[in-house]
Copies of this chain bind each other. A is one copy, B any other.
Amino acid sequence: MRWNDIDSEVCSVARTLSVVGDRWTLLVLRDCFLGTRRFEEFQKSIGMSRHRLTDRLNKLVENALLEKKQYQNNPPRSEYVLTQKGLDIYPVLVSLTGWGNKWMDDGDGIPLEYHHKGCDHQTQPVLSCDHCGEQLGPRDVRVVPGPGIIEKFKRGERPVYIPKKLVNQYAEKMNISLDDTANKKG
């Protein structure tokens, strides 16, 4: 499979990666959250080739995570600022940071710490349930087919990565009949 086709997978991880899942894009976004806005700043900070940077910034603008704003006409100069869609990547960056802090320490300690303005304490952001507030780990959660998958199964499409067990159990429980003669993939 070509990476270009990844955005049409029936999977939110795959679709998200189609936008931010290449070598440099998340580093560009990291810089955005630290206040970087201009081409040269990104380039010096990240150290990627100008070539790639041009391309990645354009894609982020195309995908509406960044907005390009001209701050000067002659010669034309622009800044790249996060949109809401871009701001929403925050949890991804925070999670990556948390993992790096824990597992990739080089012996000097955590590079950057977070301080929660609200409670005025150092914080290590964690995942929690938006309903009860409890912390969430892989074992605390059950994955259930959502409408995005059920609809496709009803149409006879079979997204490959979903364990059939999962969907069949669910279909049975919900008394939905899924035509089982249809083929995988849509």
Interface of A with B (CB < 8 Å)? 1, 3, 6-8, 10-19, 21-23, 26-27, 30-31, 33-36, 44-49, 85, 87-106, 108-119, 121-138, 140-149, 151-152, 159-163, 166
Contacts and interface: CB of A to CB of B under 8 A. Distances in A.
Nearest to A32: B138
Given A7-B104, A44-B160, A111 B16 contact: no
A129 B114 CA distance: 10
Contacts of A10: 106, 111
Contacts of A127: 90-91, 94-95, 125-128
Copies in the complex: 2
14 contacts: A11-B100, A11-B112, A12-B100, A19-B104, A33-B138, A89-B99, A92-B92, A92-B96, A106-B148, A108-B147, A110-B148, A112-B143, A115-B141, A116-B131
Contact of A125 (B102, B119, B136): B136
A6 B24 CA distance: 10
A7 B123 CA distance: 25
A117 to B, nearest CB: 6
A149 to B, nearest CB: 5
Contacts of A125: 127-130, 136, 141
A100 B15 contact: yes
Given A126-B130, A128-B128, A136-B125, A17 B96 contact: yes
